[in-house]
Structure formats: C-alpha cells, structure tokens
Amino acid sequence: MWSTPSVVSLWRARLVALTGLLVAAFVWFGAPSSANAAASCTASVTSVNLGSTLSPLTAGTVDATANLNFSCTGLGSLLSYTLCPNLDAGSGGSNGSGGRYLVGPGGATVAFQVYQDAGRTQPWGSSSLLVFGTVPTITASPGTGTSINVNQTVYLRLTTTTTTVPGAYSTSFSGQNFFWGLNLLSCAGVTIGYAVVPATFTYSATLIPDCTISTGNLGFGNAGVLSAVKDAQSAMSVTCTKDTPYAIGLDNGQQGTSATARRMKAGTEYVTYGIYQDAARTSPWGSTAGQTAGGTGTGGAQPLTLYGRVPAQTTPAPATYGDQVVATVTY
C-alpha cells in the first residue's frame, strides 16, 4: 500500500473542517446586520429658548440644557448598540476654531456653545468636522428585550458682552447625521453606520435694550451773601447697550418749577438754582422737549457733566439747603 493517499485524505478532511468554520463565522457575524436592518430607530433633540428678556449689560454667561432622545425597536437582544450624534456649526456659524454662534440682527453674533458635560468643558463635536471636538459615545443594550430608549442631557452656554447688539438671536441644526451601530466602542472618527437624522432643533435668545445711569451730588459749598453767581458741577455716567438711542431728563426737584428755577430748601426758606447741559449755562437740563441730553449707547460708560448755578438772589437765613432731583434715562 502507498502512504500518499492517506495524507491526501487527511488534508481534505482538514480543508472541509476549515470551510465549515468559515461558514459558521460568517453566519455569526452576519446575524447582527440582519437584525440592524430590521430595526426602527428615531432621534430627537429639544429646542431651547435661553431667555427672552436678557440684558447684554448684565447677562454675561447664560446656561441651559436640552434633551437628546434615541429610541430603537427590533434590535437583537443581549447586544450593545452605540449612537454617535454629530453636531456641525449650526446655522449661526462658527469662529473657525470650534466656537459656535447665535446670529442676530444685521448678522450680529453672540458666542454660543454646546457641551457634553455639566461643567461646560468638553464641546459637543463632529466626527467629520474635527474642529468642533469629539463626539459623545452613547451606548445602550436592550438586555433580553429588543428595544432601547436613551435620554442624554445636552448642555448649552450663551456668553454675552456689554457690546452685544440687542435683538433676537438663534441657531438651527438641521440634517445632522447621528450614526449608530453594533458594538462601536468609541465614536472617534466614526462616519459610517446606520444614520438617523433628527428633526431640526433650534437654540435662541432675545437680548433687550438696556441702560443704567449713575451720578454724584451737585454741591455748591459754603456761601455767605448770595450777591453773585455761584457755580458748581458734578459728573454723571450713562451706560446703554450698543446702538441704543437714549435721552436723559432731570425733573424739577422737590419744590422747583422749571429747569432753571429748582429750589433747595431749609425749613420754610429756599435757595433758587438751575442745572445746565453746558459749561456756559445756556442750555437748561430738564425733562421737557429740547431740554434732555441724548446719545447712542456703545455698551460702555459714557461720561456727562451736570453744570449747576445759583444766581444772585436775596439771601435766606443761614442753614444747610438741599434738594433731590431725579434723573430718568429713556431708551
């Protein structure tokens, strides 16, 4: 007998066994694809209004949260599934370095970002647009069932400055590719898989015009006989939001009758005085048409000066005379 046929027979047996192993492996790995194809998945992200009465002068940082929901039915049981929710710049655009914007009147922008964490340190990124950072990896398993329902918090932050122009701002995210698949250990660089696209969601905020005003006391010092004019001046500061027109009016005080006939009082006696907009004391500062001081806000403090004058008059009894004038800024 020859020994060669025995060797050939053994080799054929091993080849058949190996083929059977490959078929088995193909069937095992192919099963999840069939299950995934039969699955039905949806994703959604809630829209959020971060505020409708925010003042650029005081808002600073405004935080809010949204919710991302990912639901699937018809999945294979005891398997782990991963969602990779990519976010691009949004309709508000970006600064080219990973920062996002809300866009407002005339194309004005305000800094805005979407984060993965409550500390707002890790921006929500995109696998295909790496400038925005990494994509959160959301993993869930149906256990012994065939469905999953996952909710993930989305952390938002709006950052205003005093020079932000008032108006309505927003950014919308549409056509976002949320990829999902079986046993994706990390979403880093993942741009393939089963895609689920959430409906458009929007983040918005409304910044309102605002002004603040501050002023010091107008002190005329000590005087004996009021036989001559006595002048004094005091600083005033107004801060209004950028591009906001404003007008500042002064009332007639507690017992005055006009801008140039205000009266300081002590007991039953008075000292008449006036307040003016100019150093020459020719433009009275009051609250009627033509007597208010106006300008346009820059977002920063704008200095003004109150010019006071006590005209020559009959001198009342010695005392400390005083009055209170209310300044009102209209915008």
User: How confident is the model over 54-80, as a mean pLDDT?
Assistant: 95
* Residue 121 scores a pLDDT above 90: yes
Cβ atoms of 233 and 218 closer than 8 Å: yes
Which residues face 274 on adjacent strands? 309
Domains of the chain (ranges, CATH numbers): 40-207 (2.60.40), 211-330 (2.60.40.1090)
- In degrees, rounded to 5, the angle at the alpha carbon of residue 67 between the alpha carbons of residues 96 and 161 is 45
**Cα–Cα distance measured from residue 228 to residue 141, given in angstroms and rounded to the nearest whole number:** 91
DSSP label of 107: G
CA atoms within 13 A on the CB side of 82: 17
Structure confidence by residue, pLDDT tens digits, 253-295: 999 999 999 999 999 999 999 999 999 999 999 999 999 999 9
Of 7-11, 159-163, 194-198, 302-306, minimum mean pLDDT range: 7-11
Phi then psi for residue 306, to 5 deg, are: -95, 120
* Residue 223 scores a pLDDT above 50: yes
Phi then psi for residue 106, to 5 deg, are: 65, 20
Kindly list the distances between the CA atom of residue 270 and the CA atoms of 69, 181, 261, 313, in Å, as whole numbers in the listed order.
Answer: 73, 86, 11, 10
* Residue 135 scores a pLDDT above 60: yes
Tokens of 177: 């590719």
* Residue 191 scores a pLDDT above 70: yes
**Cα–Cα distance measured from residue 107 to residue 102, given in angstroms and rounded to the nearest whole number:** 10
Q: What mean pLDDT, rounded, does the chain reach? A: 89
- Give me the residue label for tokens 């020994």: 3
**Cα–Cα distance measured from residue 171 to residue 109, given in angstroms and rounded to the nearest whole number:** 10
